[in-house]
Structure 1
Amino acid sequence: MKNHEGYVPVSSEETEQNNAEKGIEWNSSSEIIPSNTRSFVVSLSILLISLSANIILLLHHFPRTCQEDGGRSIYSGLSFDTLVPYRTQSMYWDRKNANSTAANDAWDAIDTNPMAIALHDDFAKQVGLGPSIRFPWDTERSIYYLKGFHDLHCLKLVRNAIITGRYGNDEEITLTHVLHCLDGLRQATICLADDTPMPALVSHHVGDGQMRRCRSWEKMSAWATRLDQHACHQFEDYREAKNTLELFAFCPEGSPYQPVMRAYFDYHGHKDPYGDKSELGDQVH
């Protein structure tokens, strides 16, 4: 066949030589890859390796940071790991007798003394707590009041005021204290925003028998009364203390604060916590 003018066939050797000069190499087992794009391929490979490594790190880190922590408290370390059935009837109230002796005794037996706790300054700073009243027996600790115990104290006080009808300016329980407690409970309820759907098969028995996931009250009590942060605190729920320092005069055996507490009262003597207010009553509120 005659060649067209201007067309000159090129031998395979010349083609390979020209391709090499232009930066094109041929491999019969692969695609044609321009050699002048090798740097791009290398950069892309490094980028993909880096991206893959970051994805692996993210997948490794993501479950630890986003997994359900069970509502673990940064203070006591407790989680919602205790199942407790909700009851519409209990020993704390009698449908037939609101002022039953058994119910009154059950409420009175609820110990709210661990409400006050003596936390070290370093711990308070670590968990982001603000300053509080100084613990009288250790200059590096302050007194804080645990919310759960405070709420139970308020419930006891409000119930007692309702049952006895004894509240007002001339009574041990003031109306101001009752209303303060009610508003505190209102805020606590709204803050919790409990969204548990409660079955309602029987009137006035909403949620009866339903299992609730709770923190262990016993474990919280044990944490609050640990000897190093036991505040030596005892009080009466239904009375207003005047000499409040006396409320911190009950260090248990083994308490590291017992020697200091005893030395103080051996020197100054005791006063009636619920008697006339003295200059010592302003030290702890």
Structure 2
Amino acid sequence: MSPQKGYEQYHLLGPDEEAANESPPHGNEKDFGHMRPEKRAQWRKFAATLIASLCLAVSFLLGLKLGGSKTGEAVSPYLKLGYTESSQLWWNTEYSDDKASESQLDKLWDAGIPWESGIIALDNEEARAMGLPESQPFPWDGRRKSIYIVNAHHILHCVRNIYISIQQYRTNKTQTINYPHILHCLDSLRVETMCTADDTLRYVPLNSAHGYRPGDGQPRKCRDWGKVQEFVEAHDPCYRYLNPGDKELSNLERFKFCPRDSPYLPKIRKYFGYGDDWMPEPQEGPRELDW
């Protein structure tokens, strides 16, 4: 049998074709040839359903594979956090509440942003496992640990700096953060915004007279900030930004705020010449703003 004849004998029937009677029956085809028309129609319907089911199954499996790779790309590179936390967009929060006093806002921005905790002491083996570059040694355990800065906390540091600079300008106070640093912070916000590329589409209220602003109440998904804080607190390097802007102060003075059960306190006492009963004072109250 020629290939052409074989093709003509086995090709699928079109919707308007009758059963193939032009070619002689071959093998088991005589069974189908003697089928009644209604039986042949049922068989064609069954075959079409089977093919459609197989196509759907393949599509489903491909979707799982592609969807899984997309989810993997959304997971953060080091703490492996996904967008799992339900949240809402709001035009204003407590940090921009127009009903709050200036003193209340200053307190929030000056002392309520946990940027310092983003400076961490990471075990060198853990850092290598994460593929991180070498970093400055941790002062009290330099052979085993190094200092790293969590990027999200650096951004918090920057938005805090910008607020402080604006408030000092508004109240005619001396600027404690220099212009190049503020410019760096603005540029960091630009870079991080474009890198994150949040594509949430904020709706525009139909009637702003009701007080709603673009995006108010709109659902969104976030990473779990609590997990980030758990990580940084587990890698606390005893750092507090003591005496902001003081360039004469040794940076080691800022790495001595360890908890009472810290194994590094004896080293700190010895280095600074403190007595055995010395304990670091908690950094509370105003830092760079008066409130």
Computing the radius of gyration over CA atoms, which structure comes out larger, 1 or 2? 1
**Could you tell me whether the CA contact under 8 Å between 1:157 and 1:237 is conserved in 2?**
no
State the one-letter code of the partner of 1:207: G
1:243 maps to 2:250: yes
- What CA deviation, in whole Å up to 9, does each residue of 1:145-184 have, x standing for no partner? 11111111110111111122189xx742111111111111
1:193 maps to which residue?
197
Give the secondary structure class of the aligned counterpart of 2:146: strand
* Distance (Å, rounded) in 2 between the aligned partners of 1:220 and 1:159: 23
- Where relative contact order (Cα < 8 A, 6+ residues apart) is larger, the structure is 2
1:216 maps to 2:219: no
Over 3 Å counting, the alpha-carbon distance change for 1:197 and 1:160 in structure 2 is same
Q: How many residues align?
A: 212
**Could you tell me whether the CA contact under 8 Å between 1:251 and 1:261 is conserved in 2?**
no
TM-score, length-scaled by structure 2: 0.62
Over 3 Å counting, the alpha-carbon distance change for 1:262 and 1:70 in structure 2 is farther
Q: Specify every segment of 5 or more residues in structure 2 that has no aligned partner in the other structure, as ranges.
A: 1-26, 29-57, 279-291
- Aligned-CA RMSD value: 3.5
Of 249-258 and 146-155, deviating more is 249-258
1:107 maps to which residue?
109
Q: How does 1:1-285 map to 2 (within 5 A)?
A: 62=65, 66=69, 68-69=71-72, 71-95=74-98, 100-108=102-110, 109-138=112-141, 139-165=143-169, 171-201=175-205, 205-226=213-234, 229-235=235-241, 239-241=245-247, 242-266=249-273
Q: Specify every segment of 5 or more residues in structure 1 that has no aligned partner in the other structure, as ranges.
A: 1-28, 31-54, 270-285
State the one-letter code of the partner of 1:210: Q
Displacement of 1:63 in angstroms is 7.6
- What CA deviation, in whole Å up to 9, does each residue of 1:240-280 have, x standing for no partner? 554212111111133333333333223799xxxxxxxxxxx
Q: Percent identity?
A: 34
Give the secondary structure class of the aligned counterpart of 2:96: coil
* Distance (Å, rounded) in 1 between the aligned partners of 2:128 and 2:242: 31
Displacement of 1:128 in angstroms is 1.5
